[in-house]
Amino acid sequence: SHYRDYVRAVMTRYRDFNRWYFDNFYEQERMLADRPRMNFYHAAIARHIQPGDRVVDLGTGTGILAAFAARRGAAKVYAIDHSEILRHARTLAAANGIENVEFIATHSKEFAVDEPVDVILHEQMGDCLFDEAMVANVTDLRDRLLRPGGLILPSCFDFYCEPIKLKDQRKVPFLWELNVHGFDYSSLERSRPQEPGYYHVRCSDLGFVEHFLGEPEPVLSVDLHTVNEAAMPTELRFVRTVVNAGRLDGYAVYFRARVDGDLSLTSGPLDPGRAPHWGFRILRTDRDEGAAGDVIEVSLRVERWADPDTWRWSHVKRTAAQVIPGEPAGLPGRK
């Protein structure tokens, strides 16, 4: 009962924050000026929305994705948002001659229609992919409103958590790691902050990360057509062999969205074509060094995917000399 009350309170705060955050013109400007984002959605909608489709646009904002769908010939677009930005979306649709769009001021979980829809269109990805309740919100609509064989656009996502080295001039050590002209801060290690947010750094600066220590690959992939939030793993265990030596400063959390085999959108910190309005998240870790051939075994434990403050991470490093040739590297898989 206490846990349910806590989750309900967290979700209420999140909804209130969203109402304010997405009503802000500047946040809308950042999203609309994000060319990789807008090109990805324009191409995906042009390819997959068919004349006569009934579409739900989840979190419509200024209504631009709903407009793209309407211009493709959708018979009906339900454009849902619980932010005050909806009043501007209505104005913009009228000014641009957009028809067949119904703007609905509600949260998606309170939205219902009399007959199934063909497509759920959304942009519910947070910096940490799952932190805007994407899985809960989209699968709720999927299970209640999407026709059998209907489409979620986009549906396929890869989640990354990569060991990184930051550029030396951008690295900020933990306080207890510092020694400034002989003034030693190590005694403060016993006073480590307990606030989870202290161990997260949000950034969208391409000059922040120097390199990945290993070869990046997804540690989790989900398809919104089939995923079940309750069945998502509570722990990810993965291994990276160091191919680019350097200081281990933390883990870069980012995502890639995929449509078909040739359309993708990434928030990756070293991708020059990244979608710039999303930040990537750095999960800070204690000082360590990775030499070529070392093996880093990482555990990411998650209480609630939608709340990164409930994430906990740790690693064990084996040096190249400790790795036995032919021995399977690392930890067992996800659980």
Are 229 and 135 a contacting pair, CB within 8 Å? yes
A 10 A CB-CB count for 34 gives 17
Per-residue model confidence (pLDDT) at position 2? 52
Q: What is the DSSP letter of 23?
A: T
E strand or H helix that includes residue 44? helix 35-48
**Measured distance CA(95)–CA(85) in Å, rounded:** 16
Asked whether the beta carbons of 211 and 246 are under 8 A apart, the reply is yes
Among the listed residues 29, 84, 110, 123, the single catalytic one is 123
Q: Could you report the per-residue pLDDT of 91-138, keeping only the tens digit for each?
A: 999 999 999 999 999 999 999 999 999 999 999 999 999 999 999 999
Q: What SS3 class is residue 95?
A: helix
Give the per-residue pLDDT at 23.
63
The conformation of residue 305, written as its DSSP 8-state character, comes to T
* Strand-pair category, 295-302 with 311-318: antiparallel
pLDDT of residue 331: 47
Residues of the chain with pLDDT under 50: 3, 6, 20, 330-335
Torsion region of 262: left, alpha or beta (phi above 0 gives left; psi -120 to 50 gives alpha):
alpha
Q: Please tell me the predicted confidence (pLDDT) of residue 22.
A: 53
* Residue pair 131/197 in contact by the 8 Å Cβ criterion: no
How many other CB atoms are there within 10 angstroms of residue 196's CB atom? 13
Query: Where would I find the H helices in 146-255?
Result: none
- φ and ψ at residue 51, rounded to 5 degrees: -55, 135
Q: Which of 88, 80, 83 is nearest to 138 (CA)?
A: 80
DSSP assignments along 100-114, one per residue: SEEEEES-GGG---S
For residue 189, the tally of other CB atoms under 10 A from its CB is: 12
Angle at alpha carbon of residue 256, lines to 255 and 260, rounded to 5°: 155
In sequence order, what DSSP letters do the residues of 104-167 get, joined into one string?
EES-GGG---SS-EEEEEE---BTTBSTT-HHHHHHHHHHHHEEEEEEEES-EEEEEEEEEEE-
Q: How far is CA 69 from the centre of its chain?
A: 24
Our answer to whether residue 123 is catalytic in this structure is yes
Taking the C-alpha atoms of 89, 92, 96 and 98 in order, what is their torsion angle to the nearest 10 degrees? 20
What's the pTM? Answer: 0.90
The active-site residue, picked from 29, 102, 115, 132, is 132
Give the pair of three-digit tokens for residue 273. 């074509």
What CA dihedral angle connects 225, 226, 228 and 231, to 10 degrees?
-150
With the CA atoms of 245, 314, 282 and 244 taken in that order, what torsion angle do they form, in degrees rounded to the nearest 10?
10
Token digits for 303? 């209480």
CB 139 within 8 A of CB 229: yes
| Residue 137 · residue 58 · CB < 8 Å | yes
Give the span between the Cα atoms of 22 and 81, in whole angstroms.
Answer: 10
